[in-house]
Every structure is written in structure tokens, then in C-alpha cells.
Structure 1
Amino acid sequence: MDKEATMPMAQQKTVVLYPSPGVGHVLPMVQLAKVFLRHGFDVAMVIAEPPAGSPDFRIVDVDRVAASNPAITFHVLPPVPNADLAAGPGKPPFLLTLQVLERYNGELERFLRSIPRRRLHSLVTGMFSTYAADIAARLGVPVYAFFASAAATLAVVTQMPALLAGRRAGLKELGDTPLEFLGVPPFPASHLVGELLEHPEDALCKAMVDVWRRNTDGTSGVLVNTFESLESAAVQALRDPRCVPGRVLPPIYCVGPLVGGDGTSPADQGRGERHGCLAWLDAQPEGSVVFLCFGSRGTHPPEQLREIAVGLDRSGQRFLWAVRTPAGTDDSAFLPEGFLERTKDRGLVVRSWAPQVEVLRHQSTGAFVTHCGWNSTLEAISHGVPMLCWPLYAEQLMNKVFITEDMGVGVGMDGYRAGFVKAEEVEAKVRLVMESEEGRVIRARAVARKKEAAAALEDGGSSRTSFDRFLFDAENLDKLLGK
């Protein structure tokens, strides 16, 4: 039986995906688009560009992503006037970004109206583009949020308004006092997303709380890039009436892990040839290489890079290190004298980028030193690679707690709390994961999580079933709104 015969309704429907700006949000949404495509839907992805020079979102090369994904229709919204919002002294750039995103509602509405309502299945927003829910409500279009971070993070930000209510001071004053949220391991207050530590009346703090509240207030459900067995406590908390007393949250659909590695990651885009580091990995023993990579925004000062190099040198372990050289620094200025020569038989330093998913998938990779971004975390879990956690910013500090204490697939590089990891710790933690009995247990647990992730995406698996449930609920809601 052909596709048209099995899915006649889906072929007539278009799903509009409206991700938050930035590579780390757009690319997971591309993976979600592929799930919709497999179910027979047309997919249009709408891109709103952040303000020029925004440090919070790395601009996406839409043409390159579109060329890699011809089955998806990409539409870039025309720029909106924002001169009156220009950042002034002390105005956080991220606040400007959120204000500009809200102004894009008019252009988004024009685009949605260009699609016949009978063909429009739903609008799926990103975690920071949730202002669009107001437009969907006005047009009578079902709207859902796609939360590209952990379910545990969603549980935290959903409970934040209650924590901040009535406070006369910011949470920053709590320092490392443990915070407790339903469904989440206790973690230091200092590990919250930085904007949430400010005074509750601070403009950016209020904007962040509001934009995250909209993920579960004003949408008909939340698609989360996770799988149920990985974060069962957090998912159950989001379904618990105690999570937000007095309010019933919309359904939570765990549809992950949605990860790249097929031409949609920044490292893959426009590069047809196989990266040289993969050939180097081919020559290494199975599970013997420590991979170090800190994401698209992860940089360290030269003195920290030297400590990493010394620690790797002393550890005696094989390593593949993707280094983003600090601006204005000579390529080799941060490396100790003789480092490359001493480690040439067991190490490889790669400038700027490496094909992360392919490296994590490679049988020679045995551990991953990571900044704990959620995309990187899911990639490591999907390929059974234990993590050495070195969070840098945003929700990564919380992710470190989830990875080490809840999921049990990593250990922390404790120096991150002081902003500097010494060579001694790099050496000790690398050896712990690669050589010790504790490391063996963590590696075994990582392999088990890999099997769980694969099972979730199989026919009848939890994430497949969850997405089917979402489609069923969405179809019934669309019929109700269409009456």
C-alpha cells in the first residue's frame, strides 16, 4: 500500500515549525521536522533572525541548512523595526532578542494566513518563541511548544513563578543553597540559569519567566527532546497536580532523542568529505579516546587551555581535542612547549570544530569532556559515551547535576564552580573514567542508556508511541477548533 493511500489526511496538512533563533534550537527542530515528514505531513520552518550581533544566538546559515533538507520548506521572516529597542547602557542583549521576537508576531501571522486554514495542522514554537501562541489562538490554530532542553529543565522553569512570587530579593543571594523542585535532584541556587538569579522585578528576569511560562500556559502540549526512561521523575512531575498548584499543565510528549549527524549539524553543513580526525580515530583501539569539545560558543582563556593540555599530557590517555582558539591568540600559543611532539602518537588537536556526532558514534571514542549542552548530552547518551561534565553557561550547570546524579552517566569536573579547572583534576578525572572501577560502572551505565534511547525510537517504543499520541490529540483538537 502506498503512502498516499495510508495517510490521505496527513498529506493535505502542513505543520509550521517556528524555532527559537540560533543553531542549538534550529537544528533539533530540523530533526523534529523529519519526524513529521515521515508521518506524511508537509513541513514549513519559519525563521526569525535575532538582532544583529546578538551574542546569545549564533546566526544560522539558513541556505545551507535548507540545502541539506530539501523536503522542508524554509521561510525567513522579513526584519521587523527595532530601532526603538536598541540596547542601551546596561540593557542585556538577550532582553532585546526577546523583545524583537515578540514583534515578529505580525509577520508570522501574515505567513500563517497565507496557508489555507483547512491545510494548517498546527504551529510548533520553540522554547523562546512562545509569544507566537497569541497568534495561533487568534487564528484558531492548535499550538504546541517544542522544548529543546531537558524535561528536568522544563520542570524547573515551570515551577519558577511560585518560587519567585513574593520575593523581595533575587535568588543570587542564596549562593550555593540547595534548591528543591518536584521531580528534580536538589542543586545549588547558583546553578540556575543566570537570568533567573536576578531580582524578580528585573526586566530580563521577568521576561525569561514569562517566555518560559508560555511553554505550558497557552499551548495545547509540549514536545520535549528527551525519552521517558531517561527523565522519568521529571516527566512524572510535569504530570503531577502538585507541580503548579491550581493549574493543570498541558500534556507532555517525550519524542526524543532527536539528534543530528546526517548533514544538519554545523560541522556537517556543506562538507562532503570525511573529516581527517575520523581517519585518525580509525587507527585507535576501541573505546580508548577521550574526546574534548565545548560547543559552538564554548571558549577558554589561554591559561585554562594550557591546564587542559598539561592534564591530558600527564594522564597518558589518547585524546581528540577540538579547540576554539581565543580571539587574537596564536594557534599554538596556548600549548605548553613540546606538547604536540610528546603526544603525537596518542593525541590529535583539531582547530575550531570537529564532526561531533560522528566522533561520538565512532567505536574508538571512550569518553566525552563536554560543556553539557542538551544537544551534546543527548548525542553522548545516544551513542553510549560517558561524560566528563564541564558546564559553562545557561542551563548547562543544571544539566551537569542531572547527568551525574540522576542519569548516572558522567562525573563532574569540580573546578568549573570556581571558573578554573586545574591540570591535576583533568588528569585525575580522565583516568577515573578511563581506568577505574568507578569509571567502568559509569561506562556500563552509559551503554545501558544508549540501548534505552534506541528502544524509545523503535516501533512501539516510548517516544514513537508518544508522538503518535500527540498526533491523535492534535487531530481531535483541530477538529474541535474547526467547528
Structure 2
Amino acid sequence: MSHLLLYSFPGAGHIIPLLDLTHLLLRRGLTITVMITATDIPLLKPLLSSHPSSLHKLVYDEPEITPSPHHPLIAKVISTQKLFGLIVQWFDSHPSPPVAIVSDFLLGWTSELASHLGIMRVVFSPSGAFSSSVIHTLWRDIDEINAENRDNRDENFLLAFQEIPNSPEFPWWTVPQVVRDYKTGDQDLESFRKGMLANMTSWGIVYNTFEKLEGVYMDFMKKYMGHPRVWALGPLVPENDGPIPVIGRGGSSVVPHGNLLRWLDQKPDESVVYICFGSQVVLSEMQMSALAGALELSNVGFILCVKESGSTSGTGSIPGGFENRVGNRGFVVKGWVPQLAILRHRAVGSFVTHCGWNSTLEGISVGVMMLTWPMIADQFANATLLVDQLGVGKRACQGGPESVPDSVELARLLDESLSSDRPERVRIKELNQAAAKAVEQGSSTRDLDSFVKLLSEI
């Protein structure tokens, strides 16, 4: 029975899909050890209870982060390298150590760790294959790009990725900040880039995606890496009656989930728009004002989930009197909610999303039209995939920290998103059926079988 060590980068968007993958691998008879912080153990408990003999945990304290003059992500990634010795010590003392480590794509240094231990490293990507194609091409070619866009002065400098299928183009301002900050010779940035490039020399890579969604990009990544060990195992979402609770997935709701679901129960089928920007994004004052204005002008029922930050200057709170003006037509939540449970409710018909990959896949897995409002990182690529390539969404906002939608136009989009004859709604239903087929007995099941078989042969 193969033993794997699974190591997620800290953060809900990374841990949640890795635990969904853990569940799949446990069901295939593998022994799994999950590296996890004491803070995140509650997320693992349901799986520990259902697989007491084959699932284990390696608990660690998050290393102290040395401040970096760059993006906070850089300092956090570098701090994780301090765990190298802890993992080696655990490995050397284990009676049956793992044959491979499956680690997050931000933890590129674990390729060196795997080499030191004499085992395989498999990359787990919580981002999709399309955005991964773009990101890794960026890191490979960043010196040439910087030479062409000298001093990064032109925010609208257009990057054309001719070798990637569909030849996508993105303006410089949509490129992740950590890439835009890159300068040759900077020790921290060089270390981060080295880790990202190490992903492409790993033994294999697992994507939370499926063939019908990103087949051409999976093929591209196989060509990029020079071997076929690139697997699409998604969408990784828990079953309603599985060991990972849909209601508590990722954390506890700030409002009783029963209140939310009872409110939804009162609404007609596909009459509610769900609006959420993930666990990291805080809207600016102007963005929040525009969104609230659009909701007031619209006729839709809605759940508005927002992250508020009272200590950050310029961030937007819900406008005064807004909840009274919309009355029972809206349900406002300030904090974490059981997103998947909400999206699966019959009353929800569309989804205003920041296009984080987990949210994107959850929207596809339930078949709701998406209104895209990307903010950072891979979200611009994901929005392009949804709107321009798949035709299952419309742009609610161009995106980014400075972009503000027109309230009248957004109100119109909100209303139209619930119309049954929208072509995007037809296409998302088709994609939803393809997703279900992939994980039941289709392409994702085939890739999972292949992945497990190769691991058992190591």
C-alpha cells in the first residue's frame, strides 16, 4: 500500500482542494500523511474520523516569517523552507516512509527536499491548467519580458502567449504582482522564481480540473513538461453525503447556516444571485458603493458575502441603510459562509465571483452562470476562460483593485443572468453535466486510476 506525504501551502484556497484530493486517494486504498498546522486540524478531523487507520497527520507550527520588501507571499513561501529539517527528521524516523510527496505549486523547494530523500515529488496545483500555462511561461520568460517592457512602465503592455493554445493575450496590469516585481539579482525573488520553475521538472503534476474544461491546456502542459504524467482529477468537490461536510467545508459560517438555507427555501428556483469575492479580497469604498447601487437597482434576490476590514483605509463597508432598503430581497453576510451548500441550493441561479479557481469549479459543478469580477493572481486568466473561451459567463467588471463597474449596467446584468434563455446558462448546464460525468466514470476517474497505478509501481 503506497504511502504519500501531502503538503499544502497554508490558506483556505490551497488546503480545501488538497483535502478533497486526500479523500479520493484514501478511497483508492493509499496511506496518507497530511502536513498541517495545529490551527487547521479541525479541517482534517472529518477525514481522520472516517479513515482512522490510513490517514495520519504531521503537525507543525508555522515558521516565523521574516519580513520582505516584496509581496507578502514571497516572505511566507520562503519561511516554509525552514521546515526542510523537520520533514527529513520525520522521514528518517518513520518505519514506512512515503514513496512520494505531493506538494502545493508554491512549495517548489520541496523538489530539492524530495531529491534529498530519494523520493518523487508531485506538484498539486490549486490553479487550473490554463492559468498554470500562463504563469509558468511568465516565470520562464520574465527576463525577456522585462527587457521588452523596460522598467515595467507601460501598464497596458500586451503580453501575447503564442505557444499556448488559443494564443491568449493579457495586459501587464493583470499579471500577478509577484511576477511584476521580479528583478534579476534580487535574492528573495530569485528564490521564488527557482521554486516555480522547479514545478516543471517534477515527476508529475495534479490539476483540479477535467478534460472537457481544460483538455487543450492539459495537453499543452504535458508537452511543456516533456512527459505524460500530468493528471486532471477534478472537479474536487465533496459529495453531499461524504465524510467532508459541505456545510463546514473550509471553516465555520459566521451566521447559522440554517438561517441562510431557510431564507433560500422561501425563494423560487433559480431566482437568487450569490455574490462572493473569496477569503482574501476586500472591495474598495467605490467598488462596494457601485455594487450596492446595482443591487438596489436590480430586481434579483441575492446573498451578498463580503469581507470587511475596518482597519484598512479606503476599504468599503456596506452603505448605511442598504439592508433596510433591500429588505427580504437580500441577505448580507460579513465573513465566511458555506459557499458550496449555497450554490447547490435550487434557488441560486447565478454567481458573481472573483474567479478564484475553487469558486470557478464550484460554480461549474452546480451549473450556475457566472458574472466575473477578477481581482488578483490567476483570476484574470480564469475569467478569460469562462467568458471568452467557454462562453459560460459575462463580465461584471473588468477587474483589478482600481476598476469600478457601472451600477446601471451591472444591475441589468444581474437581472439578465437569471433569464432562462441566456446562452451562457445553457452552456454552463452542459459543462456541469460534463463535470459530473468526468468524476463518475469519465476522464477524471481514468486519470485517478492512472495516477494511483503509477504510484503503486514506484
TM-score range, shorter chain: 0.7 to 0.9
Q: Distance in 1 between matches of 2:280 and 2:361?
A: 18
Task: Please state whether the residue corresponding to 1:368 is helix, strand or coil.
Answer: strand
* Partner AA of 2:130 in structure 1: A
Residue 444 of structure 1, aligned match among 423, 426, 432: 426
CA distance in structure 2 between the partners assigned to 1:341 and 1:406 by the alignment: 40
- Residue aligned with 1:207, SS: helix
Offset, 1:265:
7.3
SS of 1:434's equivalent?
coil
Q: Indicate the residue corresponding to 1:68 in structure 2.
A: 46
Partner of 2:440: 458
Identity of aligned residues (%): 26
Which residue matches 2:82? Answer: 103
Name the CA distance, whole Å, in 2 between partners of 1:42 and 1:322: 37
Question: Which one-letter code corresponds to 2:67 in the other structure?
Answer: A
Aligned residue among 106, 113, 117 for 1:128: 106
Q: In the TM superposition, what whole-angstrom CA distance separates every residue of 1:242-281 from its partner, at most 9, and x where no partner exists?
A: x4xxx62562100111124743776664579643111111
2:142 to 164, 168, 172: 164
Q: Residue in 2 aligned with 1:359?
A: 342
- Give me the whole-angstrom Cα distance separating, in 1, the residues matched to 2:415 and 2:74: 42
- Could you say which residue in structure 1 is the equivalent of 2:413? 429
Counterparts of 1:127-276 in structure 2, within 5 Å, are 127-166=105-144, 167-168=146-147, 169=150, 173=154, 175-181=156-162, 182-183=164-165, 185-201=168-184, 202-203=186-187, 205-217=189-201, 219-240=202-223, 243=224, 248-249=226-227, 251-260=229-238, 262-263=244-245, 269=251, 274-276=257-259
The aligned length equals: 438
Normalised TM-score (structure 1) = 0.83
Q: Which residue of 1 aligns with 2:14?
A: 25
Contact 2:350–2:368 under 8 Å retained in 1 = yes
On the 8 A contact 1:150/1:224 being kept in 2, the answer is yes
Query: Is there any run of 5+ residues in structure 2 with no aligned partner, and where?
Result: none
**Residue identity matched to 2:324:** E
Give the C-alpha shift of residue 30 in structure 1.
0.5
User: Given residue 403 of structure 2, which amino acid in structure 1 is its aligned partner?
Assistant: G
Who is 1:481 aligned against?
none
Select between 362-371 and 414-423 the one with higher mean Cα deviation.
414-423
Alpha-carbon distance in 2 for matches of 1:473, 1:170: 46
CA distance in 1, matches of 2:333, 2:140: 46
Shift of 1:66: 2.7
- How far residue 469 of structure 1 moved from its aligned partner, in angstroms, is 0.9
Does 2:66 correspond to 1:86?
Answer: yes
> In the aligned structure 1, how far is the partner of 2:76 from the partner of 2:23?
28
Per-residue CA deviation, residues 74-105 of structure 1 (Å, 9 max, x unaligned), is: 2223565x5xx7326x3443222122122221
Greater shift in the superposed pair: 225-234 or 302-311: 302-311
Partner of 1:52: none
TM-score (norm 2): 0.88
Deviations 1:307-366 (A, max 9, x none): 21111111111111112233159xxx9445653333223222123232100011111101
Determine helix, strand or coil for the equivalent of 1:239.
Answer: helix
Within-5 A mapping of 1:381-460: 381-417=364-400, 418-435=402-419, 437=421, 440-459=422-441
Answer yes or no: is the 8 Å Cα contact 1:374–1:399 preserved in 2: yes
Question: Which secondary structure state, in structure 2, belongs to the residue aligned with residue 388 of structure 1?
Answer: strand
* Counterpart among 351, 360, 369 of residue 368 in structure 1: 351
**Structure 2 residue aligned with 1:469, among 444, 450, 453?**
450
Q: 1:362 to 1:305 in 2, by over 3 A?
A: same
- Given candidates 33, 38, 63, the residue that maps to 2:27 is 38
- Secondary structure in 2 matching 1:231: helix
Q: In 2, Cα distance between the equivalents of 1:466 and 1:369? A: 31
Q: Distance in 2 between matches of 1:334 and 1:197?
A: 30
Give the 3 Å change call, closer, same or farther, for CA 130–265 of structure 1 in structure 2. farther
Contact preservation (8 Å) 2:368, 2:428: yes
Displaced runs of 4+ in structure 1, greater than 4 A?
A: 202-205, 264-268, 270-273, 333-338
Q: CA shift at 1:300, angstroms?
A: 1.4
Matched, 1:280 2:263: yes
Structure 1: gaps of 5 or more residues: 1-9, 50-59, 479-483
Q: Secondary structure at the match of 1:31?
A: helix
Single out whichever of 367-376 and 153-162 deviates more from structure 2.
153-162
Match of 1:378 in 2: 361
How far is 1:215 from its partner? Answer: 1.5
**CA–CA distance in 2 between the matches of 1:450 and 1:44?**
32
* Paired letter, 1:195: V
Describe the SS at the equivalent of 1:292: strand
* Aligned-partner residue type, residue 114 of structure 1: S
Deviations 1:180-227, CA, capped at 9 Å, x for gaps: 25125333232221211234415554334322212221x211011100
